[in-house]
Chain A
Amino acid sequence: MVCSREYELIIIGAGPAGLSCALEAARLRIKTLVLDENFRPGGQLFCQTHKFFGSKEHKASIRGFDIAKMLLSEIRKTGYVEVILGATVYGINDGLEVFFAKVDSKLKRLKAKDLILATGAMERSIFFKGWTLPGVMTAGAVQNMMNVDRVLPGKDVLVIGSGNVGLIVAYQLLQAGAEVEAVIEALPKVKGYSVHAAKIRRMGVPIITSYTIKEAVGNNCVSKAIISPVKDSNGRDRELSICCDLICIATGLKPSDELCWQLGLKFRYDAAKGGFIPYHDGNMQTSIEDVYVAGDVSGVEEASTAMEEGRLAAISIGKKRGYLEKEEADRMIADALKNLEDLRL
């Protein structure tokens, strides 16, 4: 094993939180390394073809993939950030040594003075008969295949879940040329923004509430779905059969928290942010000094909050290590917290 080199800051995850954190750290002249197990940086930004909401400071009305390109080019200009892609982190020890490997190389170890976990989120699965059949996929899978790799994984689609992700993926499927048979929702009403729901309804996609999926049917891949009303739906008891070759699961996200658990961070429960999330204070510092979290791993929200949290974590570290004057740091932290508050309204 290669002996341990030290970095001022190691960021795990090159999505919106990690990249925005790296950019702020570079501005403060903190020598930073970013690791990501994907071979492309940007995380989920590259599959976001819609324009962002919010104010101008939060890059509103710019599309996700353009934000990713902007962040990457700004980071490259600074010369303070090294990015290693295709690198899976397998563990971190108490001395903040990060163990990682690329698929065709040996395990390497690098020491971090400060560590930021920006590992994002993963989709929450729901389980039903036939859910392992090819053709059942998460919304994130469908989005990345369509919008990044330009492959349409199905022609007739049933979307499960009417949160914003479900509604947006339905719209994006239509844009990509697929038929969306329906969006179904177990709750009695649509969960996501009505502006997104109206958009797909106008294009003829029914949103069926109080229904859930009972079974995915098919020999070697999905050929139809059987959906069933949930118990308390008013008098509706009819199971419906929907012909489709793709069932797209959009039932929420949870933090990708494997490394947090492995490090022994303290957790707390917050149902609205994806369940168990690593405890962190207002500076994004966790229960272990010198370990910070940012983005969806610290509680599932949006890319815009993730970017702000990444910035905040970098500023906190800059303050702690003396890269920033205290007054200047406090002003920047207050500014970032104010932005987060605005975004969460």
Chain B
Amino acid sequence: MRITEHPVLGPIGKRKRLKIFVNGTAIEAYEGETIASAISASGIKTFRVTRRKREPRGIYCYRGRCTDCIMQVDGRPNVRTCITEVKDGMVIYSLDMDSEDGM
């Protein structure tokens, strides 16, 4: 959920809208935010599923340390979505497919 009004930070302001594709679905993003932020705002909580135990993982530290939020971004695996800026048209997939390398 977006915080549109804030008592200290004020209204969210005009920002350029972008479109990204997450596991095949188009979602809205704003210029200057992280990939993880856009995905979270769209209501998605599970960013990937662990390979062996099939456990869900989402945002945990949001500063590039825990790597729970890694995803495949424009073909590059293991991108830390919490410290990577979102770009228009990005194609993003969860690293939860059944193949051996987790892709």
Contacts and interface: CB of A to CB of B under 8 A. Distances in A.
Contacts of A149: 33-34, 37, 41
Nearest to A144: B62
A77 interface: no
A145 B37 contact: yes
A141 to B, nearest CB: 3
Nearest to A123: B61
Interface stretch (A93-101, A129-137, A181-189, A199-207): A129-137
A35 to B, nearest CB: 14
Contact of B61 (A38, A88, A138): A138
A86 B79 CA distance: 12
A281 B82 CA distance: 35
A38 B56 contact: no
Contacts of B82: 141
B45 A134 contact: yes
Contacts of A122: 61, 63, 65
Interface string B6-20: 111100100000000
Interface stretch (A2-10, A151-159, A224-232, A267-275): A151-159
A155 B45 CA distance: 13
Interface in A71-102: 86, 88
Contact of B40 (A39, A151, A176, A220): A151
Contacts of A146: 3
Highest count of chain B CB atoms <10 Å: which of A88, A132, A155, A256: A132
A140 B61 contact: yes
Nearest to B44: A134
Interface size on B, as a range, is 35 or more
B3 A141 contact: no
A63 interface: yes
B62 A134 contact: no
Contact of B60 (A86, A141, A220): A141
B37 A141 contact: no
Contacts of B7: 175
Highest count of chain B CB atoms <10 Å: which of A88, A138, A146: A138
B102 interface: no
A119 to B, nearest CB: 11
Nearest to B79: A103
Given A153-B59, A220-B45, A175 B2 contact: no
Interface string A38-82: 111000000001000000000000010000000000000000000
A153 B45 CA distance: 9
Contacts of A141: 59-63, 82
Interface residues of A, number: 37
Nearest to A153: B40
Given A37-B83, A103-B84, A256 B45 contact: no
A49 B6 CA distance: 11
Contacts of A164: none
Nearest to A219: B56
B55 interface: yes
A289 interface: no
A287 interface: no
Contacts of B84: 39, 86, 103
Interface string A104-123: 10000000000000000011
Interface string B28-56: 00001110010011000111000000011
B65 A221 contact: no
A144 B4 CA distance: 15
A283 interface: no
A96 to B, nearest CB: 24
A284 to B, nearest CB: 23
Nearest to A220: B56
Given A40-B32, A146-B3, 15 more contacts: A39-B84, A133-B58, A134-B45, A137-B62, A138-B60, A145-B37, A147-B9, A150-B2, A150-B12, A151-B2, A151-B40, A152-B1, A153-B59, A175-B7, A256-B65
A-B complex: 10 closest residue pairs judged by Cβ atoms: A134-B58, A141-B62, A149-B37, A134-B45, A39-B85, A221-B45, A151-B41, A150-B3, A49-B8, A152-B1
